[in-house]
Amino acid sequence: MSVVLDAQDVLALGPVAAVAAIRDALARGLDPDAEAPRAVLPLARGQGLLMPSEAGGWYGVKVATVAPGNPARGLPRINATYLLHDSETLTCAAILDGVALTTLRTPAVAVAPCLSRLRALAGSSPGGLRLVVFGAGPQGEGHVRTIRAHVPVAEVTAVTRRGGAPPAWADRHLAAGDPALAGRVRAADVVVTATSAREPVVEGRLVSDTAVVLAVGSHEPSVRELDGALMARATVVVESREVALREAGDVVLAVKEEGLDPDSLMTMAGLSRSEATVPADRPLVVKTTGMAWEDLAVAVAVYRQGGRKT
């Protein structure tokens, strides 16, 4: 009989364990480049996504939908369900809330490959790291929560098109056109882009040489949150070169502009095996699009924990 794990059960795993699940999967030799590509199906009112993965004795698939018109109806833009199977018998062990799983694993994937850099930055910033987060939705909040769970954070600036009152997880909230924003970006140790924007939201020349940039909003080849100027001067880490060059607009467009050499892309798996050294004097960009192995790694961790602790 399948166990049903709702959103609270999934989120109860917490960001530290979620990051550990991603790092452990890579340390065990998982190869993201061997992953079967996700299927994206055009639907009358949006998209359907199927994301299957098998590793470590488990098979899982996320069934998701993206409905751009839903926010106007007061409904979530993304809905998802995750089915976790035992690889031996192929029976369904658990049914998980897929939205909560995505909310938890996306920042975990972004933080996992740059954890050493974040800790080094925190070591040289006694008061904690300064964050600028473009986007005030669940992923903006999730990235702040995941970073806070691993290193001290001094202040968080949220940035949206119109600004407004700060969300509970931020110290201030600026509009994209606010003159104070440039100074905040220059001073930032970490910049997060978690938006639905189709054009760059960060002026790349402002980003510090030591900063970490986590870009998660774009997963289409024609859509970007980061400009070519930043991508050209940064060390760029991706989940998979093949997937990044197919789906990550931030990468695809920078390569087309000839500012980013595709051969220079570092992979998360390569970093986990210490195959590459990350320069400390260049921005570190972690560009993710979301892959099925990540959902599987975190879903297994949730299942093993068993949900909420009472």
CA-to-CA dists, residue 54 to 24, 41, 150, angstroms: 15, 21, 29
**What is the number of other CB atoms lying within 10 angstroms of the CB of residue 119?**
11
The predicted structure's pLDDT at residue 76: 86
Closest CA to 230 of 258, 259, 252, 210: 259
Predicted pLDDT of residue 282: 95
Q: What is the pLDDT of residue 71?
A: 86
Q: How far apart are CA 161 and CA 120, in angstroms?
A: 32
> Considering only CA atoms, which of 80, 168, 114, 105 is closest in space to residue 302?
105
Q: How far apart are CA 94 and CA 86, in angstroms?
A: 9
Q: Containing H/E element for 54?
A: strand 46-55
Spatial contact of 110 and 168, defined as CB atoms under 8 Å apart: no
Per-residue pLDDT, 309 = 46
Distance from C-alpha of 135 to C-alpha of 161, rounded to nearest angstrom:
9
* 91: amino acid identity, one letter: T
Residue 155 and residue 131 in contact, taking contact as beta carbons nearer than 8 Å: yes
Nearest-5° Cα angle at 217, 212 to 220: 120
Beta bridge partners of 164: none
Structure tokens at 183: 């100074």
pTM of the model: 0.93
- pLDDT at residue number 166: 94
- pLDDT, averaged in runs of 10, over the chain (310 residues): 93 97 94 88 94 95 93 90 96 96 96 95 93 95 98 97 93 95 97 94 96 92 95 96 94 94 94 78 96 97 75
Q: Tokens for 1? A: 């009989």
What strand order describes the sheet that includes 3-5? 3-5, 92-97, 78-86, 58-66, 46-55, 39-43
User: Minimal CA–CA distance to 97: which of 226, 9, 195, 229?
Assistant: 9
Which residues neighbour 26 within 8 Å (Cβ) at sequence distance 6 or greater?
Answer: 112, 268, 269, 272, 273
SS3 of residue 140 by DSSP: helix
For the chain, the first-to-last Cα distance in angstroms comes to 22
What is the rounded distance in angstroms from the CA atom of residue 225 to the CA atom of residue 202? Answer: 7
Neighbour count for residue 91 (Cβ, 10 Å): 9
